């Protein structure tokens, strides 16, 4: 039997103006109002009008992107898709929090508040300029891991951060370590290594201070059992227990995002349709590179939401 997964993007998918096209839907307006109240300032203004610099700040990006992805899910429901429920949900990094909110494990307002704090903790974990990330194109995972281990021993810490799809892996760590991988990428078979514009070495062990602060914060919140299983970034396995969800959200800050493995796991579980909710189509592109045979529906606006309902009928 055909199964569906709803998936949600992470940082990097944001764009000024996102979500504004769905604001005429009362549930969407409420989402943004609640998110503004949860973070204590007008997050919606930053999402709708910018400036881009403000939207790119991690502490703003994360709640703005989460709220926008949920806004497009609401637009999909309002367009007649309320009964089209997924068998699984998943998200890339920050998107895992969106997936948890979509599945009812956290309220959207709580999720916005937590990822705002998560973004702050991540920005504050490593002083500016000391950490870096780079996208490595064309290298095999094991060869790149071996290069990272060699560089860590010789120059400075660098680790696999995002295993996105075949031939696209992001590394993260100290500036010296990442610079060395940029210079020596060919040793791991890389065709190209592209430094990323980010404010810290996300999903590396250098994020340990952020993980510790997030653990303290998460101890104060009620996490409900999600309505459908969430495939976790850290394990690429479905998770439903609130205690496991809490533990994995803390680990996720320092651990690699196993996106390729997560998609493969969902396919092995019988998923043949992926619906991406959020601005852009980053995950749709990655999923296509992981498996060309699955069906991908992208909901990146209010009009796309109505089209998606038609397509899935």
For 134-146, write each residue's pLDDT tens digit: 999 999 999 999 9
User: Residue 63: which CATH number?
Assistant: 3.40.366.10
Residue 198: the pLDDT is 84
User: pLDDT digits over 184-225, tens only?
Assistant: 999 999 999 999 988 789 999 999 999 999 999 999 889 999
Clarify whether 93 is annotated catalytic: yes
Q: Whole-number mean pLDDT of the chain? A: 96
Range of the domain at 164: 131-198
Determine the pLDDT at residue 305: 97
Let me know whether 118 and 265 are in one domain: yes
- Dihedral angle computed from the Cα positions of residues 185, 186, 187 and 189, in that order, rounded to the nearest 10 degrees: 100
The answer on 104 and 148 residing in a single domain is no
Q: What is the pLDDT of residue 291?
A: 98
Q: Which residue of the set 116, 172, 203, 281 is catalytic?
A: 203
Q: What is the CATH number of the domain that holds 185?
A: 3.30.70.250
Give the pLDDT confidence score for residue 129 in this predicted structure.
87
Q: Could you tell me if 218 and 112 lie in one domain?
A: yes
* pLDDT tens per residue across span 250-282: 999 999 999 999 999 999 999 999 999 999 999
47-100 pLDDT tens trace: 999 999 999 999 999 999 999 999 999 999 999 999 999 999 999 999 999 999
Residues 107 and 135 in one domain: no
Q: Would you place residue 1 in the very low, low, confident or very high pLDDT band (cuts 50, 70, 90)?
A: confident
Last residue of a domain, which of 180, 198, 216? 198
CA 176, CA 159: separation in Å to the nearest integer? Answer: 12
Task: Kindly name the residue from 93, 172, 204, 281 that is annotated as catalytic.
Answer: 93
Per-residue pLDDT, 128: 85
230-261 core/surface letters (b: 16 or more CB in 10 A; e: else): bbbbbbbbbbeeeeebbbbbbebbbbbbbbbb
In this prediction, residue 287 carries a pLDDT of: 98
In a shared domain, residues 62 and 107: yes
Residues 15, 148 within the same domain: no
pLDDT per residue as tens digits for the range 148-196: 999 999 999 999 999 999 999 999 999 999 999 999 999 999 999 999 9
Query: How many CA atoms does the CB half-sphere of 290 hold within 13 Å?
Result: 26
**Are 266 and 140 in the same domain?**
no
- Verify that 11 and 63 share a domain, yes or no: yes
Looking at 198, 220, 238, the residue that finishes a domain is 198
Domain count, the chain: 2
Grouping H, G, I as helix, E, B as strand and the rest as coil, residue 250 is: helix
| pLDDT confidence bin for 132, thresholds 50/70/90 | very high
- Looking at the fold, whether 104 and 230 belong to one and the same domain comes out as yes
Poorest-pLDDT segment among 21-30, 34-43, 196-205: 196-205
Annotation says 42 is catalytic: no
In the prediction, which pLDDT does 298 show?
98
Indicate if 240 and 179 belong to the same structural domain: no
Where does residue 15 fall: left (phi above 0), alpha (psi -120 to 50 degrees), or beta otherwise?
A: beta
Same domain, 25 and 167: no
Query: What pLDDT score does 257 carry?
Result: 98
- Look at residues 198, 218, 246 and tell me which one is the last residue of a structural domain: 198
Q: Please report the pLDDT score of residue 86 as a whole number.
A: 98
**Same domain for 226 and 109:** yes
Reduced to 3 states (helix: H, G, I; strand: E, B; else coil), residue 40 is coil
């Amino acid at each position: 039997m055909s199964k569906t997964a709803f998936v949600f993007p992470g940082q990097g998918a944001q764009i000024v103006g996102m979500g504004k096209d769905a604001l005429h839907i009362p549930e969407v307006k409420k989402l943004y109002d609640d998110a503004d109240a949860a973070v204590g300032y007008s997050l919606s203004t930053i999402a709708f009008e910018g400036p881009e610099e403000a939207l790119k700040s991690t502490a703003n990006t994360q709640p703005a992107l989460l709220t926008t992805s949920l806004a497009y899910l609401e637009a999909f429901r309002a367009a007649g898709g309320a009964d089209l429920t997924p068998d699984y949900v998943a998200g890339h990094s920050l998107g895992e929090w969106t997936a948890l909110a979509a599945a009812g494990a956290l309220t959207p307002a709580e999720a916005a508040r937590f990822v705002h704090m998560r973004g702050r903790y991540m920005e504050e974990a490593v002083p500016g300029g000391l950490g870096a990330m780079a996208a490595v194109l064309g290298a095999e995972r094991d060869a790149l891991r071996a290069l990272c281990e060699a560089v860590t021993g010789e120059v400075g810490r660098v680790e696999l951060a995002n295993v996105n799809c075949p031939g696209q892996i992001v590394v993260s760590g100290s500036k010296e370590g990442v610079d060395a991988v940029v210079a020596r990428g060919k040793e791991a078979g890389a065709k190209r290594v592209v430094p990323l514009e980010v404010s810290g070495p996300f999903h590396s062990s250098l994020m340990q201070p952020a993980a510790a602060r997030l653990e303290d914060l998460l101890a104060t919140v009620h996490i409900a059992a999600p309505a459908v299983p969430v495939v976790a970034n850290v394990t690429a396995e479905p998770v439903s227990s609130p205690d496991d969800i809490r533990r994995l959200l803390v680990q996720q800050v320092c651990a690699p995002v196993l996106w390729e493995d997560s998609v493969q796991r969902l396919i092995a579980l019988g998923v043949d349709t992926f619906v991406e909710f959020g601005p852009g189509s980053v995950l749709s592109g990655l999923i296509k590179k992981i498996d060309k045979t699955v069906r991908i529906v992208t909901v990146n606006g209010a009009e796309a939401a109505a089209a998606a309902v038609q397509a899935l009928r």
